[in-house]
Amino acid sequence: MKKTKIVAIVGSLRKDSFNRQLALAAQAVIGERADFELLDYGDVPLFNEDLEYPAPAAVRRVREKIKAADGVWFFTPEYNHFFTGVLKNLLDWLSRPVSASEPRVVIGKPAAISGATPGMNGTAIAQDHLVTLISFLNMKVMNAPRLVIPHVMQQLNETGKLELTVSAPYLEKQADAFLDFIQNS
């Protein structure tokens, strides 16, 4: 049987991003049960209809990655009670048909959502906005469980790196649920 492929999209381009570290923790939890790749999209240009056809190389690359994925797992920070601009920009590109005969690549893709923040709402508001957008794009959203991690500073080790304690079992539950969700999609 073909191995499940999960692509992780981190809504932060910051090198030490907590959400990036959370994605890496999810990758470790998934282990050998699926191929798990963090999408590299820092070079995707700002969306501009003048650039759409032919699509820039970076856009073609990320589209191919999403096309090949069995599931997409978002790890997003919250910026001003919303998900981030870089993530919106990426989703705008992914929302467009590839060509007259090839539709947008996200249609029907199973999606999971997690997020971490130093603040107290754990990215819940940003996640709700993201659900609205990716549902509109006809992705198949796993609404429960979602993972929210508030006060992320309380789950760092002595070197300042993310080391989940209270949230670890919730990440494990979400990973198990997402693998089932993909299997049953």
Ligand X SMILES: Cc1cc2nc3c(=O)[nH]c(=O)nc-3n(C[C@H](O)[C@H](O)[C@H](O)COP(=O)(O)O)c2cc1C
What are the residues binding ligand X (CB under 6 A)?
A: 12, 14, 17-19, 77-81, 117-119, 121
Terminal Cα-to-Cα distance of the chain (whole angstroms)? 16
Closest distance to ligand X from the beta carbon of 129 (Å): 11
Closest distance to ligand X from the beta carbon of 116 (Å): 7
Closest distance to ligand X from the beta carbon of 147 (Å): 14
Torsional sign, CA 32, 75, 109, 180: positive
Paired tokens of 54? 């032919």
Task: Kindly report the number of other CB atoms within 10 A of residue 70's CB atom.
Answer: 18
Residue with Cβ nearer ligand X (24 or 182): 24
Residue with Cβ nearer ligand X (155 or 182): 155
Closest distance to ligand X from the beta carbon of 131 (Å): 17
Longest dimension (CA), the chain: 53
Paired tokens of 101? 């005969």
For residue 22, give the H/E element and its range: helix 18-30
Residue with Cβ nearer ligand X (5 or 88): 88
Residue with Cβ nearer ligand X (14 or 33): 14
